[in-house]
Chains A and B, each alone.
Chain A
Amino acid sequence: MASKKNININLKVWRQKNAKAAGSMESYKLDNVSTDSSFLEMMDQLNEQLVAEKKEPIAFDHDCREGICGMCSMYINGRAHGPDTGITTCQLHMRMFNDGDTIFVEPWRSKAFPVIKDLVVDRSAFDRIQQAGGFVSVNTSGNTIDANTIPVPKADADKAFEAAACIGCGACVATCKNGSAMLFVGAKVSQYALLPQGKVEATERVLNMVRQMDEEGFGNCTNTGACEIECPKGISLENIARMNREYLKASLIK
């Protein structure tokens, strides 16, 4: 951790004009970065410098800047969301770096997440997996029953809630050596499988979501456990095991 208030850093950032263009790592120097700033604020500062130099600013995804939307996808110094655990890139602070450091910034690398521009990748594969079954069909006729009228054991509710904490950031895919999306899909399958409302469509859901996951070109889990460590929301491998159980059960009865 830096002891100085302001640091000077070197950056190597992936630049790519568009989805079809070939990209490369470009080097930048950025002085006077406050160690109180977040990583994204540092990127803003770099972009202001680039604009002042009449250069194209670096495109990167971001939205909430408080760790809840999952947009800020950056692979920093060989780790998804950079050093430190349990955080997104917007929650990473420059105090984690030292004066004179060289920081590598790359987009998520996965066949299923093609680069659109610079650090921005297309994560619509996750949306398609969700659309394949990551929901509960409810009749919105106006007399919808309140969810709390169905009793749920506390332990199940807690586990479902933990799984539902997934923000769909894709760090699990980015960090997995196999580019596997199983932590994400495991979380989405679990969140419903644990609740009475979700059990009704559990069989179809897991079969459809896994089929969509495979079609999108994600790799296969080898249980390295990297995703669990890099996940900003602490989604556990137990969710992948639950998906494996659900899928086995579903393919045997269906």
Chain B
Amino acid sequence: MAKSALLKSSLAKKYWMALTGLFLCLFLAGHLAGNLQLIFGDALQFNKYALFMTTNPAVKLLSYLTYISIIFHAIDGIMLAIQNKKARPVAYAMNNPSGNSSFASRNMAVLGTVILVFIATHMVNFWAKMHFSQMPLQKTTIEFQGMKNDFYITTDGGYVPVNDPAYVIKNKTEIYDANVNLKIKDAYKDLHKITFDFFRDAKWGLPFTIFYVLSMIVLAFHLLHGFQSAFQSLGINNKFTPAIKLFGKLFAIIVPLLFAIIPLYIHFTK
């Protein structure tokens, strides 16, 4: 009985919500630290980081955990919300919920659904491109004796001329010697360029910037209630609770704010 209790009961669903939610908070902190390189780092640094994030086995494991957490958190959350709706089949003619609870706490499912839509859009725009399509490769222009030439920067720190028939690109990033058909180097996928082009696009740059900023506001509200709520769900309500609540509030404001600054910075510095 206890085994099924840890999967199916109302409290078990809450434990899973809390654990996946807190894991996603950790993910947010890591993702933010990486993305801030878009502001504070150069293109090469960011693309190196992106390559590391898509190939390192430990990061891969973490990323699968993140996908599973998002899916589980979303399905569990929506199931809970449906059950909760059913628990009150007849609504009150007059209700005054703002007298006893916060807006965010009453709208976690709606806020979460918006976040889900955001995550899906975000993954189509960046994650799917990075994983599945032919990305531009990182180039640099070098001036030598008054001549400007484009070069691919390679993962071993070298340069390969772009418009040289001696080299061809295969398998998206591999540079081959065209004569002997032998792989000689790897280039970097230019995620930095994709990101900057995305938020600076003449037509879609502004709408997407606004969409990203609004989504981060929604995330902030979700976390404003969610962070401290997860501890209560796990049964942690003691002398540390005021500190947890304070940290949760700071986390809920600072993390989405810093995320939101990235598209704003890119869009308005073009």
- Given contacts A177-B101, A244-B233, is CB(A79)–CB(B96) below 8 Å? yes
Do A217 and B1 touch (CB < 8 A)? no
When C-beta atoms are compared, the residue in chain A nearest to B12 turns out to be A251
Interface size class on chain A is: 35 or more
- State whether the Cβ of A225 lies closer than 8 Å to any Cβ in chain B: yes
Main secondary structure of the interface of A (DSSP, over half): mixed
A214 and B86 alpha carbons, distance in the complex (Å): 13
- State whether the Cβ of A159 lies closer than 8 Å to any Cβ in chain B: no
B226-255 near A? 1/0 per residue, CB < 8 Å: 000100111111000000000000000000
Do A180 and B87 touch (CB < 8 A)? yes
- State whether the Cβ of B88 lies closer than 8 Å to any Cβ in chain A: yes
- State whether the Cβ of A29 lies closer than 8 Å to any Cβ in chain B: no
Interface size on B, residues (CB 8 A): 41
Instruction: Say how far A39's CB is from chain B's closest CB, in angstroms.
Output: 15
- Residues of B near A111 (CB, < 8 A) are 86-89
Instruction: Say how far B265's CB is from chain A's closest CB, in angstroms.
Output: 35
- State whether the Cβ of A199 lies closer than 8 Å to any Cβ in chain B: no
Do A237 and B101 touch (CB < 8 A)? no
Contact with A226, one of B11, B100, B236 (Cβ below 8 angstroms): B100
Do B97 and A12 touch (CB < 8 A)? no
- State whether the Cβ of B40 lies closer than 8 Å to any Cβ in chain A: no
A224 and B99 alpha carbons, distance in the complex (Å): 12
- State whether the Cβ of B6 lies closer than 8 Å to any Cβ in chain A: yes
Contact with A78, one of B5, B87, B92, B229 (Cβ below 8 angstroms): B92
Residue among B6, B83, B225 having the largest count of chain A Cβ atoms under 10 Å: B83
- State whether the Cβ of B84 lies closer than 8 Å to any Cβ in chain A: yes
- Residues of A near B94 (CB, < 8 A) are 12, 77-78, 104, 106
- State whether the Cβ of A242 lies closer than 8 Å to any Cβ in chain B: yes
Do B100 and A230 touch (CB < 8 A)? yes
A251 and B88 alpha carbons, distance in the complex (Å): 28
Contact with A77, one of B96, B233, B237 (Cβ below 8 angstroms): B96
- State whether the Cβ of A3 lies closer than 8 Å to any Cβ in chain B: no
Do B88 and A211 touch (CB < 8 A)? no
- State whether the Cβ of B223 lies closer than 8 Å to any Cβ in chain A: no
When C-beta atoms are compared, the residue in chain A nearest to B229 turns out to be A223
- Residues of A near B90 (CB, < 8 A) are 109
- Residues of A near B5 (CB, < 8 A) are 207, 210-211, 247, 251
- State whether the Cβ of B106 lies closer than 8 Å to any Cβ in chain A: yes
- State whether the Cβ of B128 lies closer than 8 Å to any Cβ in chain A: no
- Residues of A near B89 (CB, < 8 A) are 111
Residue among B13, B80, B93, B106 having the largest count of chain A Cβ atoms under 10 Å: B93
- State whether the Cβ of B153 lies closer than 8 Å to any Cβ in chain A: no
B161-194 near A? 1/0 per residue, CB < 8 Å: 0000000000000000000000000000000000
- State whether the Cβ of B102 lies closer than 8 Å to any Cβ in chain A: yes
- Residues of B near A78 (CB, < 8 A) are 92, 94-97, 99
- State whether the Cβ of B147 lies closer than 8 Å to any Cβ in chain A: no
- Residues of B near A179 (CB, < 8 A) are 84, 87-88
Binding site for A on B (CB under 8 A): 1-2, 5-6, 9-15, 80, 83-84, 86-97, 99-102, 105-106, 108, 225, 229, 232-237
Given contacts A214-B9, A219-B87, A224-B106, 11 further A-B contacts (CB under 8 A): A79-B96, A111-B87, A211-B9, A220-B10, A220-B84, A222-B108, A224-B102, A224-B105, A226-B97, A244-B15, A253-B2
22 A-B contacts, Cβ less than 8 Å apart?
A: A78-B99, A79-B99, A104-B93, A109-B88, A178-B84, A179-B84, A180-B87, A214-B9, A214-B10, A219-B86, A220-B10, A220-B80, A223-B232, A224-B100, A224-B106, A226-B101, A240-B232, A246-B235, A251-B9, A251-B12, A252-B2, A254-B1
